[in-house]
Structure formats: structure tokens, C-alpha cells
Structure 1
Amino acid sequence: MKTLVVNKKQIGLAGIATLLMASCQQVQPVAKTEPGKSWLAGDHHVHTHYSVKWDNSVFPPAPILGGDAKYSIPLNAQMASHYGLSWMVITDHGGPNRAKLALEQAYPELVASRKALPQILQFYGMEFDVPGNSPGGRHASLIMPHRPSEAEQLYQIESRYNGRQGVPPGPEKAEDAFMLQALKAMDALADKPLLFVNHPARLASGFRQYNKVTPAQLRDWQDAAPEVVVGMSGAEGHQAATLNPDGSADLNAIRGEYPGYPTMGGYDQMTARLGGVWDSLLSEGRRWWVTGVSDSHGHYTDGWADFWPGQYAKTYVYADKNYDSVFSALKAGQVFVTTGDLIDALFVDVAVNGSARTASAGQTLTVTPDDELVLRVRFRDPDSTNGGGFNPQVARVDLIQGMITGAVANRNSDETADTKVSQRFYSTDWRIKDGYSTFELPLGKVSKSQYLRLRGTNQAAELEPQPDPKGEDPWQDLWFYSNPVFIEVSASQS
């Protein structure tokens, strides 16, 4: 296979297209990977030229290809592969008759792209327009399992339930209850899709002033379809909004295009705020995962607000390199998210001393009050430059601990009383072994069910992620988050 060589700071579309065509002509199927799981980077929110605008001067409205996103499916896949992704999901916007467009045009292009670029797993999906009183801004990544029925199954979901489908959409799609009906229908399918809520607080009017998507709705959606609704994006797309096409800073622009309240270290406030929405959901014992995406519509060097898939944010899953394994890992929360290639591997294990009992991200360790526990962490900080040409270093890792207290009385709760950073680790606290930074922490005996999660950054002095100022360089403010390990305390065994 010919390698695609690009300039990381100035990537011209015409040059990439020419190289892509040459590359695709010479692609050979890749050899099957060795058995055994590894951390595989991906992106579940990628737009293509099938995120169309609509010509409403004719009836029915006609699609305008490239109207809201610029690139073809294979170009996105080629660039995702170039930036180290093993998997991605095509998630184009809906619209008046987008279901037909997807089935007849977008899906055949995806099939061709899979054949041309077999080194990257390419899932079929869409950016689902959530029904409700104000569907604008209420979006979710809908990911289809890789099955022969995937195209028809998405067509049925989109044509029946997508909030913007129809000319005009039916009045029932203006009701929040219709989203619950849609989710129950998805949950009843034999091959269930996955749904991650996109940019949940992008339209918040202020700090903890949620708009369009509320904590109560997140709870309602997961309760309606617990095997479908599994989390939300944390590291948001449009991170290159503060960069001009030449790479200089646009001092009036906002990272992530969050107008009412900014991202915090590049992450949505529902994820980044300690003891906030995410912790409130976890404190109920919910299996609720966070991810990182590009939300790529067009590259900043072409005058848009985005990085290429995988250039800045990556969602890592611990899986074999095949569709079913990646899908299962996403569903199970065997996931961490990072920006700027701060790390490329992260193992967070809680173990019972003196036994083989252990649990990692997304898993539950059942213990008794007499068990002595230990936390074991290994992460890898790659010794290479990232998509911005930098080689950032991890300056600090935080251990976050929260109690599991059961269902909240207030469904709109966005806080927990006892979530805390229980320990901070710096470079002097870990040692390097076989390319990994490692450390352990005795946890002792625990009497209450709880969860542990990790957060790391290249900012040694910024103890909590702060609101991102206008014009901030996203490459200088990097964070990673693990998903939680749950500890369930049972009665002592005599």
C-alpha cells in the first residue's frame, strides 16, 4: 500500500484527493491481526458530504451534497487511518428525506470505502436528531452493529423516528415522549444499536444552566433503553475553531463552538466538572461512559472548525480488531479518551490483594468489607509527535473516587456530595517499565460501594479543568479520562 504523506499544519484538499485516489488503487487487504486485545483508537462522530443541506425551492426538498460537511467517506477514512485510528463511525445529519439518500447513495459509498481501506473498520451510523419540542442541537451518535441488515435497519429507524425526517416531520416528533418510543423500539431489536449523546451541554446558557439536553433526559433515555443508551461525548468536536487556516490563533473564537458556556480543558462541562453530571449518573450505579470525537465536517485549513478524525481527540477501546469486538467494548465501557495523543494506552485495575480477583474500566469488582484492595495503573505516553507536531508529556494523574448511593430523588440532579480527588500523582510518583508509566496505591478495606476513575493532564498546576478562554490553542491544554471501575461491597463471608 502506498503511504499517504501529508503536511500536518497545512493539508490541501486537492492534494489529498489526488493522493487518496492513488493510494486506494494500490490497497491490498491487511493481514489478520494477532489474537489478543489491544487499545484501538477510534472516532464515533464523523460527517461526510452526505451531511447535506436541502433545497426547499422544490418539493420534495432536494439534497445538496457537501452542504454541511465537505469530504467523501473514503477521504475521511484515509485521514483517520493516517492519524492512527483503527475504527470510525460515519454519522451524517438527518433531514426531510435523508433516510432514502443514506440508503441509496451514502451506504454504497461506505461499502466501497470498506473494500478500498480495509485497515480501518468503518461502522455505519448517523447523527440522530433527537425528537422533542426543540430538536435543534439535540443530537446523538447512533452506531449500527456490523450486520448484513445494517442499512435496512438504519433506514427503518431513521425514516420512522428521526426528529427531522418527513416533509414536514409529523407533529408527534415535537414531543419528548416520542424519543422514548423510539428508544424502546431500538431496544427491542435483536441487533441493538448503540447511542452516545453528542455535545450534551453545547447549548447550555451558562454554568449548570442546561438547555436542550438535561440530566433528567439523560436518565429517561437510558431507562427507556439501557442496552442502547450507554453514554455521551466528553471531548468535543470543533476543537480547531480557534485556529485560522494558517494555524495562527483566532482570538475571538471559542473551542468546540460552545457559545453559552465554554468547554473545560476541551471537555463538555457535563464530563469535566468534578462531582457534576457524569458523577451524579455514576453515583446511581449507572453504566454511563464518556468518549472523545472530532465531529469533523471540514478541516480548519479549508476554513472550517475541525481536525481530521483522530488528529486531536481519540476514543480508545480495549478490543480485538474486528467489528463485533470494538462494538462490544464500546457498549461495556472498556474505553478511555484522550486529546493530543497525551497517552495511547491506559490500564486501570482494582484488585483484591492475594487473589486473582480484579476489575478494570467498565467492570465491577465484588468485594467483602474484609478484602484488602489495591489500585494498579499503567499508562503509555508515546514518544512521538501528535497531529499538531508536538510531543506532550503527562504532568499529573488524578484518582477520582465517588460513592454509589442509589437512585436520586431529583431526576435533574447534576451533583454529588462526596465525589473527590482522593490522590494526585506526579512524575516522581510513577516509574517507567517496558515503556509504561506505572504506580500502585493501596486502597485498604472499603465498606461502601463506589467507583474509581482516572483523569490526567499536561497541566501540572491546573488542579481542575478551567473554562477555556477564547482563542486558546487546543494543543497546549490536553486531558485524558478513564471510564470507571465499580466496586460493589457484599456482606462478609464467614
Structure 2
Amino acid sequence: MNTVRTDSTEPVDAIVSNVTTNTDVTANATANADRSRLAAAGAMAGLLSLALAACGGSGNGSGGPEPEAGAWTTGDLHVHTVQSDDSRTTQTLDFVLGKAFTTHGLDWMAVTNHLRSSKYDNDAKLLPAPVAFAYGMAAYEMPRVKALQAAGSYTGKLIFSGFEWDTPTHDHIGIGIFEGDPTLATSASAMKEFQYVFTNGDESLFQADDLARWKAKYSQRANATAADALKGIAWLKDNYPDTSYAVINHPSRNPGKYTIADFRQMNDLAPKIVFAIEGMVGNQMEPNRGGYTSAYIDANKPNRTYGGTDYVVAQLGGVWDALLGEGRRIWNVANSDSHFEIDAAGNSSGYYPGEYAKNYVWQPKGSTGVAGLLGSLRAGRGFGVFGDLINALDFRASAGGGQATMGQELVASAGQTVTVTLRFKSPAVNNYQRPVNSGNLGNMVPKVHHVDLIVGDVGPKAVPGTPAYDVATNPSTRVLKRFTSADWTLGADGYYSVTTTLPASRSQYLRLRGTNLAEDVPGLSAGGEPLADQPVNTADNATRHDQINDRNYGSLWFYSNPIFVTVK
């Protein structure tokens, strides 16, 4: 059986040329099942090892950070089923849950259908008439999840319902609204009300008694302007200040939908709610990676993906760095945006939940249920990854007896030495298939080529109404160190480790970015920076699907959330 490593200086077609291409799925079923079990076991071992490391060691006497109780979890905040109007009838709720939890082993997932009309139930049965999605969610999606878990399916998994909002004048925002004491659960009543007030859904989609109550409560709907978008965020803050979230999805997919001032306004208005941007976007199986279909002209360079990542996050010193440079706690997340993978007509959209994109989120001991996950997401201790390039990451900074990790703040005195430690693992194989969606694993071995330690200065927040509020760059951002296999060592616990130091001269943030690509791979990277992804337009469906898949697995990345170093 051939294997292929993913660290390479060659173009994508050369990277994947040695992957097993036997299309006889039956003949390979046993071997693939064994590899799947090995991959799952390897991933679990990585998570367990990292949890042990976080608790004071790796279990083999190699030492580690100070004792800390908790566990790493994996999940997806952006998943569609047949109840979305642009999905497919094959994408039933049961099918998606099976892919997310049974096949790909996620720990938690948000089902986030479009907040539009829905004409199917969760099993793809046609309804007598379309309904507002919030009603369909309450009638079909939520009861089915509850019934499955009550019957013993997906024990220990966290499954909750949210929605994707067509935000007035902007693009999509993924929202969750929860209520309940002591256990939080999705609030169907809040979602129905939100859909009436903040979307343009026809009144015929809503129930008469609800309409009467809402019309008495609101003088008019708020579904047309940028000010209405802010009213929607304010509504969440006023009614669910601690039990809701709003993730800005695929922010640069369409030109002119956002400015950095929009991000600042939303975060200023509700920092506990608007705390994440989907930088590592879904829809990766589309010919235009991520579904970023605007014309390929220079003016639209910000509206491309770069190694599958939105320009907001991928650009060194760009929008995300500008926000972090103000000390804003705005994190990056990685989602599937799953609608379907390949349909009967040969169209391709995205990978299934957990197949290609994963969020890793640390949850402290006692952090359970929706409340626990929401608190952990807000805390920012996590990283996003494509193609299982890594499945464990320990990133810490220490000075003067203090220590901080991703999402946290290290306070240091001027002149102190800050020690930065990086430890990571990769699984034995990832989910690359050849042909794509065949079940025939390609035996691809993910391999990190280099990891960048990125640093940027932190100053005061920009003030609304000043020129600084529109500045979308952070010129201080730079790659402080680039680590390769020449720098890190492999420990007995299976972790690659490297340590470096820097002086505490001014307040800064530190973040990591890693890839399987060498610094200069034609069409993919230049000087270590990702290049804009190019479309795959081959006419033959099967060939095009494999080329898209090869493009994606030939360019793998991970991004960590930052550590803030405040110098006093």
C-alpha cells in the first residue's frame, strides 16, 4: 500500500500522485475500515495525550505544563440539512448526524439551517406548504435529536439547533439562542420571533397567533438596512446577553458585504455575543474554493480564499490582525458549511462535518452542555485545522512565574524574557479519499512542513467616527519565527516540540499558523504566505471532483487563536 506525505515543494498534482487510486471499494473495504479505526484511535490518542499533558505530563514521565483538569473537544458550528432551501434531499438530519458523530467522531455540533422558508421535514418529506424555518426546526429537527439521544444514540454528544441569518446588507451570520435554568437549550420561541422581526419572510409563513403578538410588540420589522443588522445584534444582547452567540460566516465571499468598521461596530455593541469569525470557511468542494465565486480580477483579491481560508484571517497584517491589535477577543473558527458533498447531477459543495474542517476547543473540568461549550468558545482556547494536519496543539507563553495559553493574557514586566513553547501532533492518516466520496481512503499521511510564530503590537481600541475605525491593517504584524523540522524535536510522547524566547518590550499578541506546504510552491505559496486559490473547471464531473479534492488536501493549514502579552 502506497502512502503519501503532505509536506512538499511540488504542485498539487505531484503531491497526490502516489496516493492509492484503486477504485474497487469492495476489495479495499476491510483495509479501509482498519485504517479508519487506526485513524480514529490515533486522533483519540492525540487528544488523550494532550489532555494528560495539560494535566501535568504525558503519562510517560516526559513532563509538561502545570496541572490542569479538562479535555479537548472537536466540533462544527455551521451545518445544514435538507431543511435548508439550498441543500439536497439526501442531506437528512439522521444522515448528517451519522457523518458528524459516527463516521468522523465529533464531540459537538450546531445544526444551522438558513432562516428562510423550509418545505421539507428532517427526513426530506415534502410539507403540505412551506413554513418559516424556525417552525420547522421546532416541529421536526429538535424533537428528532431529542428522540435519538433518548433512545441511546450519540450518547455524550452535544447537538443543538441554531440558524444562519441573511443579515441585512451583509452576508450570513450563524446564531445560537438558548434559555433554561439550570440547563440551557435552544429557544425555539426566540428564534421564531427573531425570524419575524429580522428577516423578510412573508407573513404567510408564520402562525396567526404569533403574528398578532409580534405586531403588537413591534411597530415595524427590521430587515432591510445595515442599521437593522445592528438592531438584530442589539436584540440578542438585550434579551439573551449571556446565552447567545453570533459568528460572522465566510465574511469575504461576496464583495462589498463588510468593512472592518462593521466588525468593530458589532463587537463593540455585543462583545460577549460577536466574538468569532469563520475564517476557515466551508464549501471546500466547490470549484471555486469556499464558494467564493466573484470574478477573478485584481479588485476581488480580498474576495478569494487563500489555502481555503478567508482573506480576513489569511492576510498577514490584515483585518484579523488589525482587530487583535486593539486587544479585541475575536477568535477564528473552522466549519464545514455542509449542504451536500456531491449530488446526483454532479455538483459538488462541501465536506461533511468533521471530515475536513475541525474546531478544537478546550473545555475545563465541569464545563458541560451548551453553557459549558459557549463559555469555552468565548474564552478562545482553541485552534482550527484543515485535513487533520494536526490533531493536538499546546501553545504557551510564560514570564516571571506567570503563564498563558490560547485566548488568555500573560502580564509581564518590561524587560522580562517571555518563553514561548509549541507542542503539536499529527494523526497517522487523514480522511483523504481517492476517488473522492468513495470510501476508499488514500492513505495520506499529514505532515507539517513549517509553523509560523506571528506577532503583532497591541494598542488602544479605535474610536468610532475617527479615521482609525476604518483602518483594516496592522503594519506591526510579522512572522517572528518560522519553525521547521530542523528546529523541533520529537518526544517519547509523540509530540513535536520547540521553544523560543522574546523580550517583553511592549504589549503584543502571539499566534500560530502552520501548513504542509514549503515556502514557495508554484500556485500555492510564496515566501511562506498562502496564494489565492484558483478555480477547478474541468468538464468531466468525476475528474473535476478528484482535482478539487486534491487541491484541498494539497494545501492544508491550521491557525491558532492568540495569546496576549501585556507589558506593564
Distance (whole Å) between structure 2 residues aligned to residue 454 and residue 75 of structure 1: 35
Matches within 5 A, 1:11-410: 36-52=69-85, 70-81=90-101, 82-96=103-117, 97-115=132-150, 116-130=153-167, 132=168, 134=169, 138-145=171-178, 147=183, 150-167=186-203, 172-188=222-238, 189=240, 191-204=242-255, 211-241=256-286, 253-260=287-294, 261-300=303-342, 303=346, 304-319=348-363, 322-323=368-369, 324-353=371-400, 355=401, 357-388=402-433, 389=442, 390-408=444-462, 409-410=467-468
**Residue of structure 2 in register with 1:26 after alignment:** none
Distance (whole Å) between structure 1 residues aligned to residue 490 and residue 99 of structure 2: 32
CA contact (8 A) 1:47 1:69 kept: no
Residue 510 (structure 2) pairs with residue 465 (structure 1) = no
Q: Taking structure 1 as reference, are residues 423 and 298 closer, same or farther at Cα in structure 2, changes over 3 Å only?
A: same
Deviation at 1:10, TM superposition (A): 10
CA contact (8 A) 1:123 1:144 kept: no
Deviation at 1:195, TM superposition (A): 1.2
Q: Which range moved further: 143-152 or 267-276?
A: 143-152
Residue deviations 1:272-325 (CA, integer Å, cap 9, x gap) = 000001001111110010011110000126543111101111111011573233
Q: Taking structure 1 as reference, are residues 10 and 198 closer, same or farther at Cα in structure 2, changes over 3 Å only?
A: farther
CA contact (8 A) 1:293 1:314 kept: yes
What value does the CA root-mean-square deviation take over the aligned residues? Answer: 2.6
Residue identity over aligned pairs, in percent, reads 32
Distance (whole Å) between structure 1 residues aligned to residue 248 and residue 241 of structure 2: 22
Distance (whole Å) between structure 1 residues aligned to residue 403 and residue 498 of structure 2: 16
**Residue of structure 2 in register with 1:245 after alignment:** none
Query: Which amino acid counterpart does residue 513 of structure 2 have in structure 1?
Result: R
After TM superposition, the score normalised by the length of structure 1 is 0.81
Q: Taking structure 1 as reference, are residues 163 and 68 closer, same or farther at Cα in structure 2, changes over 3 Å only?
A: farther
CA contact (8 A) 1:90 1:126 kept: yes
**Residue of structure 1 in register with 2:497 after alignment:** 438
Q: Taking structure 1 as reference, are residues 316 and 164 closer, same or farther at Cα in structure 2, changes over 3 Å only?
A: farther
Residue deviations 1:327-372 (CA, integer Å, cap 9, x gap) = 221111111000000001111101015x2x1001100111111422
Q: Taking structure 1 as reference, are residues 9 and 171 closer, same or farther at Cα in structure 2, changes over 3 Å only?
A: farther
Residue deviations 1:143-166 (CA, integer Å, cap 9, x gap) = 344745523354255334432444
Distance (whole Å) between structure 1 residues aligned to residue 174 and residue 423 of structure 2: 30
SS in 1 for 2:254: coil
Q: Taking structure 1 as reference, are residues 298 and 271 closer, same or farther at Cα in structure 2, changes over 3 Å only?
A: same
Residue 489 (structure 2) pairs with residue 454 (structure 1) = no
SS in 1 for 2:511: strand
After TM superposition, the score normalised by the length of structure 2 is 0.71
Q: Which range moved further: 259-268 or 170-179?
A: 170-179
| Unaligned 5+ runs, structure 1 | 1-6, 13-32, 54-66, 205-210, 242-252
SS in 2 for 1:300: coil
CA contact (8 A) 1:397 1:426 kept: yes
Deviation at 1:45, TM superposition (A): 0.2
Q: Taking structure 1 as reference, are residues 8 and 181 closer, same or farther at Cα in structure 2, changes over 3 Å only?
A: farther
CA contact (8 A) 1:158 1:165 kept: no
Residue deviations 1:372-416 (CA, integer Å, cap 9, x gap) = 210011111112233433211000000100001222333232111
CA contact (8 A) 2:261 2:469 kept: yes
Distance (whole Å) between structure 2 residues aligned to residue 306 and residue 187 of structure 1: 32
SS in 1 for 2:222: helix
Q: Taking structure 1 as reference, are residues 344 and 228 closer, same or farther at Cα in structure 2, changes over 3 Å only?
A: same
CA contact (8 A) 1:94 1:164 kept: no
CA contact (8 A) 1:114 1:122 kept: no
CA contact (8 A) 2:338 2:353 kept: yes
SS in 2 for 1:424: strand
Q: Which range moved further: 256-265 or 319-328?
A: 319-328
What is the aligned length? Answer: 427
Distance (whole Å) between structure 2 residues aligned to residue 10 and residue 478 of structure 1: 27
SS in 1 for 2:199: coil
Q: Taking structure 1 as reference, are residues 386 and 280 closer, same or farther at Cα in structure 2, changes over 3 Å only?
A: same
SS in 2 for 1:41: strand
Distance (whole Å) between structure 2 residues aligned to residue 378 and residue 290 of structure 1: 20
CA contact (8 A) 2:307 2:556 kept: yes
**Residue of structure 2 in register with 1:58 after alignment:** none
Distance (whole Å) between structure 1 residues aligned to residue 93 and residue 148 of structure 2: 7
Query: Which amino acid counterpart does residue 255 of structure 1 have in structure 2?
Result: R
SS in 1 for 2:470: coil
Q: Taking structure 1 as reference, are residues 69 and 465 closer, same or farther at Cα in structure 2, changes over 3 Å only?
A: farther
